[in-house]
Amino acid sequence: MSDPSPATSPAWSGATPRLSLLVPTYDRDIRPLAGELMAGIAALPEPGAVELLVLIDGNPGLTGQEAILAEAAARGVAAGLAVAPGNLGRAGARNALARLARGQVVLFLDADSLPDAPDFVARALAAAAEHPGAVVCGGRTGLRLPPPPADARLFHTHSQKREWLPATRRNQDPAGHFLSANFQIDRALFLATPFDDRFRGWGWEDTEWALRIAPRAPLLHIDNSVSHMEFHRDADWLGRLDRSVENYRLLYTTHPEAVRRHRIFPLIQALRPVSGWLWPRALLWRLALCPALPPAFRLHVAKLRQALVYGAILSP
């Protein structure tokens, strides 16, 4: 499948971007994020140094996104909007965006993000100049996210413990804390080491990519974060963990030694003898969703269930 040609704003042809902001989306309205990014671009002393490129990943039901081109024209910002004719998936969509980009450095953002500071774009452009050749990870928080609903506490608690961390914490284990939600890299290096598009659906494509890129470029975490602006309902998140099992199998097949060092792997091994039993999965599902239990305890239960599910598909 060839890459789609983007519709562009008038400033696109005159821009000489050093940084490309790349946002794939499937069903997320991109206009709030694009508006804030374009405001940041327009505020730069040299707005033509940054371009914004959005890809709608094969969803004909997502309409109204062409409004970002009208806003880009009003602001004098270089922006493009491409529509993939079929769903490329999380990995494939990012790879396609990198091929369409023109900047020396590409910055990937998830569509369900909003910058935590108005100078987000300026900081990213400065980081591109200050850290050439590095994978620069800006970080993710929940600073702009309202308190979660009662039935959306599991992923929120997980994010607080594992993802919403300052750069000092993330730099203690740079590859282990890599998230594809907000990172930038030299475009040529990314094109030489793209995401593995065999990973479909949700989960583990960023972990696999970090394992491959780490020998080729340093991973550096900085504080230039975005807020994750989406709640995952508890039952939906448990379902996502179940559906990520094939991606985990692919990760294990591709990088078995690295997977064996995962914190969850000893638990997977311990539960392998009972991984085919259905009643423990059902019991743990009910416990993980029990609102009377503390969210931190329920998260431990969810991880126990995840290890049980994963154990059924991994060879010894």
pLDDT tens string 270-299: 888 888 889 999 999 999 999 999 999 999
Mean pLDDT to the nearest integer, 56-66? 91
Q: List phi, psi (to 5°) of 197.
A: -80, 5
> pLDDT of 89-140, one tens digit each?
888 999 999 999 999 999 999 999 999 999 999 999 999 999 999 999 999 9
Domain(s) labelled CATH 3.90.550.10 in the chain stretch across: 7-231
| Interatomic CA distance for residues 113 and 280, integer angstroms | 36
pLDDT at 33: 97
| Interatomic CA distance for residues 196 and 176, integer angstroms | 18
For the chain, what is the largest distance between any 2 Cα atoms, rounded to a whole number of angstroms?
63
pLDDT at 2 over 80: no
Nearest CA among 65, 109, 54, 55 for reference residue 87: 55
| Interatomic CA distance for residues 78 and 217, integer angstroms | 29
pLDDT at 189 over 90: yes
| Interatomic CA distance for residues 148 and 146, integer angstroms | 6
pLDDT at 149: 95
| Interatomic CA distance for residues 77 and 125, integer angstroms | 15
> pLDDT of 200-234, one tens digit each?
878 899 999 999 999 999 999 999 999 999 999 99
Mean pLDDT of the chain: 94
Which residues partner with 185 through β-bridges?
106
% of the chain surpassing 90 pLDDT: 83
Note whether 39 and 75 are within 8 A (CB): yes
pLDDT at 22 over 80: yes
Amino acid at 241: L
> pLDDT of 229-253, one tens digit each?
999 999 999 999 999 999 999 999 9
pLDDT at 316: 57
Nearest CA among 132, 180, 115 for reference residue 19: 132
Joined together, the tokens standing for residue 126 give: 């400065």
pLDDT at 113: 97
pLDDT at 131: 96
Note whether 92 and 4 are within 8 A (CB): no
pLDDT at 315: 59
Note whether 217 and 174 are within 8 A (CB): no
Amino acid at 9: S
Higher pLDDT, 121 or 314: 121
pLDDT at 1 over 70: no
Q: Where are the beta strands (DSSP E) in the chain?
A: 7-8, 19-25, 50-56, 78-83, 105-109, 113-115, 135-137, 140-141, 182-186, 219-221, 226-228
Q: List phi, psi (to 5°) of 280.
A: -65, -35
Note whether 216 and 134 are within 8 A (CB): no
pLDDT at 4: 87
Q: What is the DSSP letter of 231?
A: -
| Interatomic CA distance for residues 250 and 258, integer angstroms | 12
Its CATH class, for the domain covering 7-231, is alpha beta
pLDDT at 191 over 60: yes
